[in-house]
Amino acid sequence: MQKSKKVVILGHFGVGKTSLIRRFVSNQFSDQYKVTIGVHISKKVVDLSDEDSVSLILWDLEGTDRLEQIREAYLLGTHGVIFVFDINRPSTFQNLKRDLETVKSKVQDRPTVVIGNKKDLVPEEEISSLLEEHDIPYDYLTSAKTGETVEEAFLHLASILHHDS
Amino acid sequence: MVTKMDEQAKLEILKDILFPDDRGAVQDIAKRITLVEHIINDQKQLAEKVDPLVDEKISAFTKRIPDTLGPTITATLKKEIKNHKDEVVDALYPVLGKMVKKYVAQEIKMLSEKIDNQLGFLKRFKRKMRSWFGGPTEEQQLMRELSSATIEQVLLIERDTGILKASYSVTNTIDEEMISGMLTAIKSFVEDAFHKKNQNLELIQYELYNIHLQSFVTHYVAVVISGDYHLTSKNKLQDIIFNFYYNFMAMNLDLVFHSKDKEKQGKEVRTIDKDLLIKELEASFGNAKI
């Protein structure tokens, strides 16, 4: 049985939201940065078993440094959230806990997966100390460029949403 | 033995003297019991006696309903309407929409006919002039004017999530789920950007195609139309959409809508089967002329 689920991708400017979706949906990556204006919709069907699959309708929202200003009309009826920050840019995760609280209040506590992206840009040993230092509650560390752990993060949310319904 | 009989006879005589009517009364009572038994056993006779009493009681009860049950009924209705506002509005919307639209359409039709009468001659003259000066022939122009709009695709979309519930399409197009998401995003953006409450984006135009969007409370219907899409076509299309929504969606509220509470309580949640929705869309829009 296939179910459709609306997933919004949120985060600050330039953290790699569109690149993550592009990697997940069509397994592609581009170094050229194009700002997302408004919203872009993509879709990917995830097979969870022989019988069950989830059709993820991915709403790639334009990045913003002030999450409380997100257009609420885009968040209506959201089933799940992917929140992305840039490991290489502390300004995108310094207030992560507060940002997540804001998101939580706007999407009525829907399941949220927190992703630290651009793993390829920071040496492995620095990442753990950096995240520990700021006490960052993340779920996955990914690289849209290499594709590392991207699929796992999306599949994890798809699985939660499937069991949630 | 003789003494005993005498005593018995004496007692009877004494009884007759003391209670002269006793025997007659017993016989009377026995007769009345037989009569009552007869009435009870004979349904028709019983009905003759009881029905007026029951009617009187019912009539009195009916008169007392506004005072006795009225407040309870009103409170229950208010509570139900408050708890299921969306469902009630969704059920009423097509009915009210139809009424308002028919009235407005009627007025516009009358106005349009008056204008047509005034402009008929002018139009014919304009067509002739265009064909004289190298434009399409008069017949071609007439054909073009008469060519009606055609329904290419119908999408039934959940209003908040943008998730496609069912669709009907004449030709194959790109992913309908993505179209539904994008239409919802455009709709949300426009409706949010102008800060006008209760206003809905109704039409998206691009070259040869028009997308008519008819919003309800929980869902909206998007219809892709090719050809000349004018007010008359819009009227016809709205009638079809309202009929579809009223006959199918609004009448099947318990199947379409389900509260999350019910899900949490572990109760069985019924939803409309997608195939059935698709069949219904095809039946309503498939051969529709607009």
Asked, for residue B239, whether it belongs to a domain, the answer is yes
Residues B51-77: tens digit of each pLDDT = 888 888 888 888 888 888 888 888 888
Asked, for residue B166, whether it belongs to a domain, the answer is yes
A25 touching B, CB under 8 A?
no
Asked, for residue B82, whether it belongs to a domain, the answer is no
Q: Please check whether residues B100 and B18 belong to one and the same domain.
A: no
**Which domain does B144 fall in, by range?**
87-257+265-285
pLDDT at B246: 82
Task: Find the helix or strand (DSSP H, E) in which B59 lies.
Answer: helix B43-68
d(CA B54, CA B60): 10
**Residue A146: is its pLDDT beyond 90?**
yes
**Which domain does A107 fall in, by range?**
2-164
Q: Please check whether residues B15 and B124 belong to one and the same domain.
A: no
Residues B102-142: tens digit of each pLDDT = 677 667 766 776 777 666 767 677 767 777 777 767 666 66
Q: Please check whether residues B115 and B39 belong to one and the same domain.
A: no
User: Which residues of chain A make contact with B177, given a CB cutoff of 8 A?
Assistant: 4, 43, 55, 57
User: Which residues of chain B make contact with A59, given a CB cutoff of 8 A?
Assistant: 162, 181, 185
> pLDDT band at residue B265, thresholds of 50, 70 and 90?
low
Q: Please check whether residues B138 and B232 belong to one and the same domain.
A: yes
pLDDT at A156: 95
Is B177–A71 a contact, with Cβ atoms under 8 angstroms apart?
no
Is A79–B161 a contact, with Cβ atoms under 8 angstroms apart?
yes
Q: Please check whether residues B150 and B198 belong to one and the same domain.
A: yes
Grouping H, G, I as helix, E, B as strand and the rest as coil, residue B129 is helix
Q: Provide the domain count of chain A.
A: 1
d(CA B243, CA B237): 10
Q: Give the count of Cβ contacts less than 8 A between chain A and B.
A: 55
Is A4–B160 a contact, with Cβ atoms under 8 angstroms apart?
no
Asked, for residue B217, whether it belongs to a domain, the answer is yes
Q: Please check whether residues B48 and B123 belong to one and the same domain.
A: no
The count of other CB atoms within 10 Å of the CB of residue A165 is 11
Q: Please check whether residues B66 and B91 belong to one and the same domain.
A: no
Asked, for residue B220, whether it belongs to a domain, the answer is yes
Residues A2-43: tens digit of each pLDDT = 789 999 999 999 999 999 999 999 988 888 878 788 889 999
CATH number at B211 reads: 3.30.450.70
Q: Provide the domain count of chain B.
A: 2
Interface mutation vs chain A, best among B158, B163, B187, most A CBs within 10 Å: B163
SS3 content of chain A, % helix, strand, coil (to 5): 35, 25, 40
Rounded to a whole number, what is the distance in angstroms from the first to the last CA of chain A?
A: 12
Is A43–B177 a contact, with Cβ atoms under 8 angstroms apart?
yes
Q: Please check whether residues B141 and B211 belong to one and the same domain.
A: yes
Q: Please check whether residues B55 and B149 belong to one and the same domain.
A: no
Q: Please check whether residues B43 and B158 belong to one and the same domain.
A: no
A98 touching B, CB under 8 A?
no
Residues B1-35: tens digit of each pLDDT = 455 667 888 887 887 777 766 667 778 888 888 88
Nearest-CB residue to B160 (from A4, A57, A77): A77
The mean-pLDDT minimum among A151-165, B172-186, B264-278 falls in B264-278
Interface mutation vs chain A, best among B177, B183, B277, most A CBs within 10 Å: B177
Asked, for residue B79, whether it belongs to a domain, the answer is no
A76 touching B, CB under 8 A?
yes
User: Which residues of chain A make contact with B162, given a CB cutoff of 8 A?
Assistant: 6, 41, 57, 59, 77
Q: Please check whether residues B165 and B129 belong to one and the same domain.
A: yes
Alpha helices (H) in B163-230, listed in sequence order: 176-193
Nearest-CB residue to A77 (from B161, B175, B178): B161
pLDDT at B114: 72
pLDDT > 90: what percent of chain B? 10
AA identity, residue B78: K
Nearest-CB residue to A76 (from B160, B177, B189): B160
The sign one gets for the Cα dihedral B52, B57, B58, B62 is: positive
Residue A60 zone, left/alpha/beta (φ > 0; ψ -120 to 50; rest):
beta
Asked, for residue B80, whether it belongs to a domain, the answer is no
Residues A46-82: tens digit of each pLDDT = 998 888 899 999 999 988 888 888 888 899 999 999 9
Q: Please check whether residues B95 and B136 belong to one and the same domain.
A: yes
Asked, for residue B200, whether it belongs to a domain, the answer is yes
